[in-house]
Structures are given as C-alpha cells and as structure tokens.
Structure 1
C-alpha cells in the first residue's frame, strides 16, 4: 500500500480574515476637538469614515470593526449582532458636508473632497476594503494583493459551482476540503484493499479454469490498470497535502502577525493617553506662565503706571452697547513690597455719567504684604490723559480715597470699593477732528500715587516727563523742579516784602 500524508487544518485560519482593531480608519483633521462628538468614531476618535450604525444608535467607522463579528458598543456597552450592523448613508452625507482643514497643510474645504486632496497633494492612498492608508500606490497594491483581509476573492470551489466571494466562505471551504480529503483518502484505501483482495481471488480461479495465454494477459492488464490508478491517486493526494501545508503555514504566520499588531496597538494606546495627559498639563502651565509674564512686563513697582489702551474705538463701542462697560488695568505696586492697586476705566461713562463723560476709578487690592502695611490708604492719586502731540495739553485729575470708607481700608476681599472720578473726560473731546488724545486707535493714561505731597502746580511737569526715563532719573528731575519752584517762590516773597 502507498502511504498518504494526512493534512491538518491550523486553528489560525479562524483569525486570518478578522480585521485588526488597530487600524485608524477615520479622517484626521486639524481642530478635531471643535467638531461635534456625534461625528467622531467611538473607537479611533477621528472623524467618521463610512459610518456604521449600531442598534443603540451610535456610530463606528467601517474600518474600525470586523463586520463578521458582534460589536460591543464602547459608549453604552450594548451588543449589536454582526447581521444588525448597517451603513448609515444619510449620516455619511451629513458628515461629508462638514468644513475641515488638512492636518498636513493649510488646505480648507468640505470633508467629501478631503481624501482626493490627500491623494493628490500628500500622496496618501486609502484601501477601499479596510480604510487603511498608505504613502504610495505601490504599497497600496501590495497591501491589497498580499495583506488586506477584506479584499473580495473568488472561492477556490468556484469551478464546482460555488459563487461566494468573501473571506469567511473561503476559510469554511478550506476546512471542508480538508475533512473531505481525509475521508476520501480512507475511502480510496478501502477501495484499493477490496480490489487487491478481489484480484487475489480472481487469479487462482482464472488459472484453475484455464491456463491459456489470453486469460493471463487479461489479468496482467487489470493489475497494471489498478497500479496506474493508485499512482495517479497518490500524486493527487501529495499535491493536496503540499497545498494544505502551505495554507496552514500562511495562516499561522498571519495569526502571529495579528497578535503582534494587537500588542503594539495596546502599547500605542497607553502611550497616547500618557502623552495627552502630559500635553494637557503642559498647555495649562504654559497658559499660566504667559499670563504671569504679561502681567510682569506691564507691572510697575514705583507707584506710577502707564496704561496703554489699544483698539479704543472698539472698546468705546462695546461700552456704548453695554456689552462691556468697563476695563481693568494690570495691577501695579507702590514698591516691590508695597500696596497693590489697579485702575478701572468706563469708556462711555459709569451709571451716573453714561453717554456724557468717560469715567475712571482707583482700586486698592489685597496683597500678601497687607498685614505689615499701614491703613487706611490716604494718599492722593493723579490720573492724566496724555496729549500725544507736541502741545502737551494733558487732562489731569486728582482724587484722595475717603479714610472712613471701605475703599481705603485693609482689603478683606480681592478688591476694595473703587474711588471714582465719574466726569474724568467729556466724551465730545473724542469726537473732535484730529483728537490729540487718540492716535492709531490708542490712548495712554498715566497714573501717579503721590507719597510726597507734590504741589499741584508741579503735576503738569511730572506728567510731561519722558516715560522712558528710569525711576531714579525721573525722581531726580522732580526734585530739581521742586527746588526751582521753591527758589522762585522765595524770590517772589522777598520782592513782595521789599515793595511793602
């Protein structure tokens, strides 16, 4: 008897045609965080591509699920049978009308044109069967020919009438062929044994009945025919054995490859989660640092503050429409360890002067050094709207907080009650042609906390000093001007005395 190799089906064939869950099947675009969550895949978290609707109403990308398996909804945990999964064409049309921007360049357009843009400009090609993307047409073709589990192929039993064209059918028929071959092999072995036994019985009877040459030649021909049939059968079975061994090895290799991909996918997910958390923390810290830097750059520590107000036209419009009636300045200090204060401007007036005057107020704020500072705060504060021309016709107003009111006491909250100048500047000034106080839609207000009781006649000089001078230089010039005023005053007094 001739021996036969009995092929064994590898269990890896059951996963050959299962789609890898690591495929990122959705559309990747810029600013995806601004898109409504209903347009995002629950698995890949990208914009849905070929949305499949589950029985619970949630959507998943076609490329993110294995359509021959039941699906466990990641959001509500309801199970949808494979036969119940359907493509939502109406929802897909709604998605493709979304405005989007390319994550690789500055392209803008609707989502339905996005894939064409990726292929033409960035050479990113997509497999229509599994939604995986590639950087060239060559790798895409290799994927469809050798790797893609969703490519439609004809069943190997097509010559015998099978018209199926899916991967599951092919795997099922491979299994059937394996079982049939094994059983067929046993059948052929039994038939061969019966033929040989019949031959053993026939030869003696033929020899006994007749010893003629014709009868011997007939028996010999029968033996030769049987031997030829056995050889043909053996060759066919050997060929089938080789084919099944190759298929089993290919299926086993693919199964191992999928296991590696799944492991890499899990590690990648953990890495992405860690990276996202870190990025969120860094962005928050960066935002806080930017805010602190902006405050630091505009903060002064010598009791003076130059407040630059840009886009003043827009600010006055917002105040007139009561969209935003007031603006706070940055905090400024009397010294590095001194009082913390700020100003508040009403561009179109407060509740008492709305529509007639621009109002301004001074606010004492709570600081870490308040326990050792002297209160009530009773120093005069001068506001000066700067004339940006050579005329230097500044508008100067001075106020002193009321020592009996909350505005000058030690702060218990973040801010005390403001001390206001409701009629700081008449609004008609800003309506004049060639208004000297606003240039390039910007105006400047200088604020001075007077700790030295400067004479009122000296304030125009102080406010006209170059803001670019260092504090000690400004203080020296002010001191010199005070001494000059004193000399002039003394000379005038002496002259008056002589006249009398």
Structure 2
C-alpha cells in the first residue's frame, strides 16, 4: 500500500508526501490542485472525516519529494502483464520496455481507428490500413493500401493516365472502359471526369483525320467488330463515322445557347450581393459580443488563479515562523503511528519555517515508528535544510545549533535533545534540490515511553514537537 498513489491507486510516479503523511504522484497532485480550490486529502476524508485538520489541506508548498520511496519503487521486481510477453525486471527499466514491447496494443498512427500489436503494425499498414497512402508509379495518384489492393494496382499496366484515350480503352479489354461516373478507376479514388461530348469530339476528330487507319479501340467505342476484313464492313464504318460527326455538330449548336443564358444572369446579381452583405453584417453583430464574452471568461480565469495563489500564501504565512522557533502540532497520532508500523506512511513532514525573515528555510521530519537504528523501538526526529529564496545571500554550510523538544502536556518532563551540524555533511550544504538529506536523532524517544500513561506526551491523540535554532 505504501507504494500506491492516494489518488489514482497506481504505483507512485515521482512520489510527493503531504503533511498528513499520504503520498501522491506528482502529476496527480498537480491535477487535483488545478481542478479544485482548497483541496482536502481524499485518504484523510475516507479514513476519519472527524479528524480533518490543516495538515489535510493539499498545496504545492506542503508537498515534499520522497526520495526514499522513489528509490524503493525503482528497485521493485516487476513483470510485463501484456498477454504473450515474458519480460521481467526492475521498475526503472519498465517504462523503457513498455515503449518497445512487441505484444503491447497500440493505436495505428495514421488515425484509422484500429488498435494492433506493435509487432503486427507493419503488416497492418501494408494490408489493412485505410489511411496508409501509397503513390501509383504510373499516374502518381495517392491511394490507400486497401484501394491499392482492391484495384490490383500492382498488376495492371494499363493504369489511368488522365487522358481521354487511355482513360477509355485498354489493350487487353474487349469493351470501352467508360461508365457514367467517368474514369473506370473512380471507385478507388480517381477524380478525373469526362463528358460524352468530349468522348465524341475526340473520336470524331480521329475519324476525320484517319478514317481508314483506325485504332482497335475506336471500333470498340462505336460498337463494331474488331476483325474488319471486307470492303463492305469498311464502308459501314464510314457511315458510322458520318453519324458521329453529325452528333458532334448538334452538340456544338447546343453549346451556342450558353452565351444568352449567361448574359441573363447579371439580373440576379444585385439581389445576391445584397443578401451576402446582410449575412456578413449579421455575422459581425454575433461575433462582437461573443469575443467580449471570451475576453471576460479569460479575465475571470486569471482572477481565480490569483485568488487561489493568495489563499495558499495566506495559509503558509499563518503557519510560518521567522524567528527560528517552531511549534508543530501533530493530531490523530494513533492512526499515524499505525500507518508508520504497517509502512503505509512511514514519515511526516512539518510545514516549512525560517531562522529569520530572509534566513534559512528548514522543516522537521518525524518517523513515529522509528528509522534506521531506532526503527520499531524509538520515535525518530530529523532536521531538514530546504532550498530557500535567499540561499545565495546566506553563509554555507549551515552551522547553527538545533534543539528538539517533545512537550509534556502536563508540564512535568519535556524530552530535550540537541546537536550541532557536521560541517562536512551534505545535509548542511547549500541545497541543490528541494531539500537536503535529513539529519538528526534516530533514537529521540523510546516508543514505550511515548505510549506510557505515566506521561502526557500524547494527550487527546495529539502531541507537540518544538524546534529551536540558535541564530546568535
């Protein structure tokens, strides 16, 4: 459970721990904060809504990168669950495997809507993808693979060349290759169109220039037998040619009517122009208020973001301390201790505080069930140096004495421990990341003493930790 995100319930990616102790993926937390104002930890709500506190509020400044959990997750032994795949390894290599797994189902990148195994993608693009475009070497037309296969494009040398002759006839075809829609390849995408007028014009011109030496396809075009051997048949073809010529002249007369019809069209132009201007004016009237509404929406969105940022800053200011003295109230201690024992939430971070107005930024980290040499027997308390806004102006390494106190709520016997920083330790150098490695007291207080009824360190399921940094 400790490796699972409190939002998506999947294995944590770039784990962040909140003040309440629950962990979230970095992307999940960003999504929650982007879509919710004053977001509350969902796990805290589910476990015990009556114990919600300020620590349950979700905010970026309350989240801390959990390097220990991220490292543990990266070393977990995992295996690929994709059917047919036998890969196994550690988590940090899994994402690389996911991008290469031959058995993974992936969507076709052409946008055809099919989902195929990665190893079968090449075969899908070759034979089944309707959006995979292939260029015909003969006519330079772009065709999908299904169209390419359907037309038998690779096997036919008599491809469309977009001219009436080659468009109409084929050397190994016994009938004219024309239909009412134009090119015989129109079913598979050819956009070339030709009218009967153009057909007759070309055939008639061919008749007039070469009446006796006609190509085979002309005879087919007029419905004659290809094997012309006698003079009688040849005379018959002359009659057919004259018939074609007469039809051509009739079409020319009809085309002469185009001029008068075209000249009458300007009568309607003023009305059409007026209608066009009216439509344009209406569109402008609609577009102007719509643009104004969009601008108002953008301004409101910016103001919402500003208010959210101010709210976060206000919460941070209320809890922050700027004199090197910090009092940390931890509620719901019993449940949090149990979570630490089970490994669900092993540690808690305090809000950040400062040694001075422009001083060092620090926080506390507590392991209620102990860490390192104190795990399972003691409560461990650590000091963490964080990256601050004014680090460039401060002397490094951090060298101030740190004092920890666990307050007895009956004011009898406080637990006190103190240490001076090891100036050679990386924990006290200027931070490169959000925070340095924690340093402090792994055996701060025996658990038996923390839970003993003789003492009042935990009262009403609440304890108080105090940190004092000597700045003199």
Q: Same fold by TM (over 0.5)?
A: no
- Greater Rg over alpha carbons, structure: 1
- If the TM-score is normalised by the length of the shorter chain, which range does it land in? 0.3 to 0.5
TM-score (norm: length of structure 1): 0.35
TM-score (norm: length of structure 2): 0.37
Instruction: Decide which structure has greater helix share.
Output: 1
